[in-house]
Structure 1
Amino acid sequence: MKLIGISGALAGDKTSLAVSDVLTAAKHLDSAIQTELLDLREYEVEFATGAPLVDYNDDTWNVVNTMLSADFLVFGTPIYQASISGALKNLLDLFPENAFKNKVTGIVATGWSDKHFLVPEYQLKPVLSYFKGLIPAGNVFIHNDAFNEESDEIIDRDVSGRIQNLADEMIYLQRAILNR
């Protein structure tokens, strides 16, 4: 199975590190899982204009096709102004309606306010559902206080446990889809 993580942050390291932690947890649970991180800071994904994918640059083409080739995905977003990142929303605007059919689509979000823990539920979850993604129950919101200030490493054991549980649930659900 191939698990792709997408970090939808264009600044800072917390979201990318959180997505990487999910990929690492999945790899520990099943060493046969292939993982890859798509950190949107490393790509020039073009603004979605509604044009066919072939009209976009190589980075846009490669990111979209890498995601489509995945068996399952974990999406990471920082919460900005009580919303998912514009970079992640723009990327999602490039996909066709059934893009994530038969794929588990986990969510990890980072933010400064505990008040934002429902943003993924009310903004990202409906979009992933529209694409026919199967969304696990155990998605993870991580308050910025859960990170070490100097290294950005997650230091909150509860958060680390929730990341482990998300990886476990995603693997379980994706195996069930592939084995039916």
Structure 2
Amino acid sequence: MKIVGVSGALAGSKTLQTVHEVLAAAKNINPAIETELIDIREYDIEFMCGTPLSYYNDDTQTVVNKILQADCLVIGTPIYQASISGSLKNLLDLMPIRAFKSKVVGCITNGGSSKHLLVTQYQLKPILQYLEAIVVAKDVFVHNDLFDVETAEILDNSVLRRIHKLAEDMLYLEGKFRD
């Protein structure tokens, strides 16, 4: 089984760190799992313009295909202006209809206001459900105050426990769906 993590941030390292933590927790639960972390900052992903995937540049095709080939996904995004990042929304717009059919997807977000706690419920999950993902019921929100300013390491043990639980739930659902 392969879990692909997607960090939907173009700036900073908090989102990348949160996605990495979920992948590490999943690997800790089951060392046989293959993981890959996609940091969209490392790719030149084109804006979606409604053409077939083959018309986009190599980076765009590579990222979309890595996501499509995954068995399971964890998607992370910072919350900007009470919304998911535009770069993540663009990436999701590039996905074909039914792209996530039979894929378990976990969500992890971070932001500077606890008022952004429900952005995942009202914005990200509906998109994932439209793409026919099996979305893990409980997501994880990490307030920016819970990161080390210099290293972006998560400082709060209760957040780390919730991340571990997210990884457990993803693996449980993946196993149940495959049985």
**TM-score bin, normalised by smaller chain:** over 0.9
Q: Match for residue 84 of structure 1?
A: 84
Q: Match for residue 25 of structure 2?
A: 25
Deviation at 1:171, TM superposition (A): 0.3
Runs of 4+ in 1 over 2 A off after TM superposition: none
Q: How far apart are the structure 2 equivalents of 1:22 and 1:15?
A: 11
Kept in 2: contact 1:8–1:75 (CA 8 A): yes
Q: How far apart are the structure 1 equivalents of 2:65 and 2:167?
A: 23
More strand by share: 2
Deviation at 1:155, TM superposition (A): 0.6
Q: Could you list the runs of 5+ residues in structure 2 that have no partner in the other structure?
A: none
Secondary structure of 1:74 counterpart: strand
Q: How far apart are the structure 2 equivalents of 1:154 and 1:141?
A: 12
Q: How far apart are the structure 1 equivalents of 2:151 and 2:72?
A: 29
Residue 131 of structure 1 pairs with residue 156 of structure 2: no
Q: How far apart are the structure 1 equivalents of 2:23 and 2:147?
A: 18
Q: How far apart are the structure 1 equivalents of 2:80 and 2:138?
A: 22
Q: Match for residue 39 of structure 1?
A: 39
Secondary structure of 1:161 counterpart: helix
Deviation at 1:178, TM superposition (A): 1.4
Secondary structure of 2:38 counterpart: strand
Kept in 2: contact 1:140–1:162 (CA 8 A): yes
Secondary structure of 1:164 counterpart: helix
Superposed counterparts of 1:45-64, under 5 Å: 45-64=45-64
Residue 148 of structure 1 pairs with residue 155 of structure 2: no
Q: How far apart are the structure 1 equivalents of 2:13 and 2:140?
A: 17
Q: Match for residue 67 of structure 2?
A: 67
Deviation at 1:77, TM superposition (A): 0.2
Q: TM-score, normalised by structure 2?
A: 0.99
- 1:53-108 Cα deviation digits (max 9, x unpaired): 00000000000000000001000000000000000000000111210011111100
Of all paired residues, the percent bearing the same amino acid is: 56
Kept in 2: contact 1:138–1:162 (CA 8 A): no
Size of the aligned set, in residue pairs, is 179
Q: TM-score, normalised by structure 1?
A: 0.98
Q: Could you list the runs of 5+ residues in structure 1 that have no partner in the other structure?
A: none
Kept in 2: contact 1:107–1:120 (CA 8 A): yes
Q: How far apart are the structure 1 equivalents of 2:42 and 2:53?
A: 19
Secondary structure of 1:12 counterpart: coil
